[in-house]
Amino acid sequence: MNFYDSERMTDLLKPHGYQLDDNEDDADLIVLNTCHIREKAVEKTYSELGRIRDKINLRKENTGKKSIVAVAGCVAQAQGKEIMKRSPWVDIVVGPQSYQNLPELIAKVDPIKKNVNINIDFPTIPKFDHLDTNINERGASAFLTIQEGCDKFCTFCVVPFTRGSEYSRPIISIIDEANKLIDVGVKEITLLGQNVNAWNAPGPDKTIWGLGRLIEELAKINKLEFIRYTTSHPLDMDIELIKAHRDIDKLMPYLHLPIQSGSNKILKKMNRKHTAKQYLEIIEKVRDYKPNIAISGDFIVGFPGETEDDHQATLQLIEQANYAQAYSFKYSKRPGTSGSVFSNQIDENIKNSRLHEVQELLRSQQISFNETTVNSTIKVLVLKKGKKNNQYLGRSPFNQSVFFNSKNKNLIGSTVDLHITEAFQNSVAGEIINDY
Ligand code: SAH
Ligand code: SF4
């Protein structure tokens, strides 16, 4: 979602004379877009700020030019005052729901007097209504945020506090943005939301549409070849979306469905409102409708009160679900969440060893999944050049990284048929059969 927000900020600033630069050394404006989901991400913000300060001081010394520095994203939202205290040289602090105001905030930066412009409001009119409608160059694959915020209040999670309450964008603005992305050459769109499958909005027929119906509508866009979405919540997984996986060829066979823990006791303490059995039943149903689909998930180890039995229940659930890929994290205490004051916080060493066990199991499942794709033929959108000569990288329908060789100089953005020849831990290798 931060990638999407960064791209939209770039679109927004272009009419004001800014253009994207890979090099911060001589940048007039540096926007640090931040994540607050785990403590590590916050620490990273402050260390990045230290690094940026050195760069802008050097630029000032060498050229006399002052760079404007803005901190955006969820750390800005949650720690705006703290940033102003710890890094008073920062010019702008702007939250994820108010970055549409960035041009005004930049215009207000006073080059001599030091005052921080802060805007961390949750506006009543959603930012999407104010975002510039221009879309710039994106490459072959792009993100499109359709849903933001969350009302579920899992006890470990800061999202409801930093991104605000659940909001679904209207269909018309989603279709409009998708068409604009296609116009700049995009072939694959990943629909984004904190709980993307909670998306719902009135359709042209005045009934309430869910994500499955939206995907069906987007699939009608001719030049749009691949559709993905992330992240889904088990409670919002409806039959329409499951059927969309069976019926819509452009929808990629990949479902990211986090559960966090395999223990019902911990799920309850996390306020997830579903059991491990209900989660497994959803996966079973998805596989009934779409047997050849890659399932992915998220896990948190060491949530307060997690016993060895709870941990074993998580390992057992992983065995039963059989993931193609999954993300796992140590529980990180987040200020303001109810979990942060729960008793029985887990010792760091225990968290480390549990994380190791979970990751080992997930790793073995991932490699097994990758091996099942060897000898198959898949359609791949070529995304970029690889490190080696003549090497290209793309993503398989199952969201695997794929690499292959071709002497063709101009394959980026095209679709190729690949015969998968070899499987690795985090990728598969293929040989090109034909390009379209
Ligand atoms: N809405 C999605 C998840 C969004 S947050 C869902 O409900 O499943 C992305 C992931 O970050 C979560 O799935 C969780 O695994 C992880 N995460 C969130 N808060 C965390 C915390 N306090 N400590 C560790 N991991 C966390
Ligand atoms: Fe966070 Fe997801 Fe729970 Fe919402 S549903 S509070 S985003 S983990």
| Minimal-distance CA residue to ligand 1 atom 24 | 331
- Nearest ligand 2 atom, CA 194: 7
Distance CA 366, CA 228 (A): 20
Is a pLDDT exceeding 80 seen at residue 118? no
Please list the residue range(s) of the chain that carry CATH number 2.40.50.140: 377-432
Distance CA 77, CA 232 (A): 24
Alpha helices in 224-328 (DSSP H): 239-247, 264-269, 276-289, 308-321
Q: Which CATH number fits domain 377-432: 3.30.360.10, 2.60.120.10, 3.40.50.1240, 2.40.50.140?
A: 2.40.50.140
Is a pLDDT exceeding 70 seen at residue 114? no
Model confidence at 227, pLDDT cuts 50, 70, 90, reads: very high
Going by DSSP bridges, is the β-strand pair 254-256/294-301 parallel, antiparallel, or unpaired?
parallel
Residue type, 349: N
Phi and psi for 76 in degrees, rounded to 5?
A: -60, -40
> Quick one: which ligand is closest to 351's CA?
1
Query: Which numeric CATH code is attached to 127-372?
Result: 3.80.30.20
Centre of ligand 2 from the C-alpha of residue 230, in Å: 13
Is a pLDDT exceeding 90 seen at residue 128? no
Distance CA 365, CA 425 (A): 10
Is a pLDDT exceeding 80 seen at residue 298? yes
pLDDT for res 125? 62
pLDDT for res 276? 98
Is a pLDDT exceeding 70 seen at residue 116? no
Whether the CB of 195 sits within 6 Å of ligand 1: yes
Order the strands of the 68-73 sheet from edge to edge: 29-34, 68-73, 92-94, 117-119
Please list the residue range(s) of the chain that carry CATH number 3.40.50: 24-119
Please list the residue range(s) of the chain that carry CATH number 3.80.30.20: 127-372
Whether the CB of 230 sits within 6 Å of ligand 1: no
> Quick one: which ligand is closest to 334's CA?
1
| Minimal-distance CA residue to ligand 1 atom 18 | 157
**Cβ 32 vs Cβ 48: under 8 Å:** yes
Tokens 């409102």 belong to 273
CA distances from 307 to 320, 334, 346, 354 (A): 20, 21, 9, 11
Q: Is the peptide bond before 231 cis (omega within 30 degrees of 0)?
A: yes
Is a pLDDT exceeding 70 seen at residue 162? yes
Whether the CB of 128 sits within 6 Å of ligand 1: no
**Cβ 417 vs Cβ 376: under 8 Å:** no
Query: Which range among 132-146, 149-163, 205-219 shows the weakest confidence by mean pLDDT?
Result: 132-146
Tally of CA atoms within 13 A in the half-sphere of 356 that contains its CB = 6
E-state strands within 107-241: 117-119, 141-145, 147-148, 167-168, 188-192, 200-202, 208-210, 226-230
Report pLDDT digits (tens) over 12-39.
999 999 999 988 899 999 999 999 999 9
Distance CA 115, CA 94 (A): 14
Decide: residue 83, CB within 10 A, 0-12 exposed, 13-18 middle, 19+ buried. Answer: buried
Going by DSSP bridges, is the β-strand pair 188-192/200-202 parallel, antiparallel, or unpaired?
unpaired
Centre of ligand 1 from the C-alpha of residue 367, in Å: 24
Distance CA 74, CA 46 (A): 13
pLDDT for res 132? 64
Query: Which numeric CATH code is attached to 24-119?
Result: 3.40.50
This prediction's pTM:
0.94
Once rounded to an integer, what is the mean pLDDT over residues 63-67? 92
Centre of ligand 1 from the C-alpha of residue 334, in Å: 11
Centre of ligand 2 from the C-alpha of residue 237, in Å: 14
CA distances from 185 to 225, 286, 380, 397, 409 (A): 11, 32, 16, 19, 18
Centre of ligand 2 from the C-alpha of residue 261, in Å: 14
And the tokens for 313? Answer: 């229940």
